[in-house]
């Protein structure tokens, strides 16, 4: 579950 | 010889990237890699420390940190690749090359090395899809104009398994 939420929060920097 | 007992990831990295080093010090670089492999959360902690050093305003400190990062990619295996392959870390590299973030204040040498590393990982680690996403975003933005040429000795090729002796 922790890994899933980490994956959801991992975004490419807005440019 | 450096005293290995009691050394932390931070202390190894401080020594490996010390701006007063006259050249890259492989004893400390390998010491940092070994420490990552010893610690349960080694890769997570290491990438955070490395990102900070790579963004140093001192060019030589940043260049040494990029050499350390390259060495870790070769020596610290899948666990380390997984951490580098997260946007959380890739974003820190993007900041270094993007004029919207730190790019205008960072030397061309450091930016070129960051782009070289990113490109070499897109080739060597196709399973780390976020590295490709980050690299192609930089291309779309015009920050990377063309793929760099990576010298053969700098490509990320995992060491071959040892050959059996006299089979």
pLDDT tens by residue, B22-69: 999 999 999 999 999 999 999 999 999 999 999 999 999 999 999 999
pLDDT-derived band of residue A15, with 50, 70 and 90 as boundaries? confident
Measured CA to CA, the distance from residue B159 to residue B150 in angstroms comes to: 18
- C-alpha dist (Å) from residue B152 to B57, B126, B131, B156: 30, 18, 20, 9
Return the ∠ at Cα B104 (arms to B63 and B119), rounded to 5°. 50
B156: its two tokens:
């990320």
pLDDT at A2: 72
The tokens for B20 are: 């007063």
Q: Identify the pLDDT of residue B31.
A: 97
Judge contact between B122 and B156, C-beta under 8 A. no
Q: What's the pLDDT band for A8 if we cut at 50, 70, 90?
A: confident
Distance of alpha carbon B108 from alpha carbon B59, whole angstroms: 10
Query: Mean pLDDT in chain A?
Result: 82
Q: How far apart are CA B48 and CA B142, in angstroms?
A: 27
> Could you tell me which chain A residue has the CA closest to the CA of B131?
A12
Gap from B46 CA to chain A (nearest CA, Å): 18
Measured between beta carbons, the chain A residues lying within 8 angstroms of B101 are 13
pLDDT score recorded for residue B161? 52
Cβ distance of B86 and A10 shorter than 8 Å:
yes
Q: How many CA atoms lie within 13 A of B59 on its CB side?
A: 10
pLDDT value at residue B5: 62
* Residue ranges for chain B with pLDDT beneath 50: 1-3
Interface TM-score (ipTM) > 0.90: no
Count the neighbouring beta carbons within 10 Å of the beta carbon of residue B149. 8
Chain A residues inside the 8 Å CB shell of B133: 12
- Nearest CB partner across the interface for A12, out of B87, B100, B101: B87
Cβ contacts of residue B141 below 8 Å, gap of 6+?
A15, B98
Answer whether B133 touches A (CB < 8 Å).
yes
Q: How far is B79 from chain A (nearest CA, A)?
A: 14
| d(C-alpha B133, C-alpha B30), whole Å | 30
> CB of B130 within 8 Å of any CB in chain A?
yes
Chain A residues within 8 A of B137 when measuring between CB atoms: 12, 15
């Amino acid at each position: 579950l922790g890994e899933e939420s980490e994956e959801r929060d991992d975004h490419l920097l807005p440019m | 010889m450096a005293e290995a007992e009691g050394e932390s990831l931070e202390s190894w990295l401080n020594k490996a990237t010390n701006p007063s080093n006259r050249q890259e010090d492989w004893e400390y670089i390998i010491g940092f890699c070994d420490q990552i492999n010893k610690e349960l959360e080694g890769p997570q902690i290491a990438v955070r420390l490395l990102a900070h050093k790579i963004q140093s305003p001192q060019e030589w400190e940043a260049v040494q940190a990029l050499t350390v990062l390259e060495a870790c990619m070769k020596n610290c295996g899948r666990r380390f690749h997984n951490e580098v392959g997260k946007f959380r870390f890739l974003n820190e590299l993007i900041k270094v090359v993007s004029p919207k973030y730190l790019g205008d204040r960072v030397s061309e040498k450091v930016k070129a090395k960051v782009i070289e590393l990113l490109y070499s990982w897109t080739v060597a680690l196709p399973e780390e899809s976020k590295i490709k996403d980050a690299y192609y975003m930089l291309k779309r933005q015009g920050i990377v104009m063309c793929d760099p040429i990576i010298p053969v000795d700098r490509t990320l090729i995992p060491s071959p398994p040892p050959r059996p002796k006299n089979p």
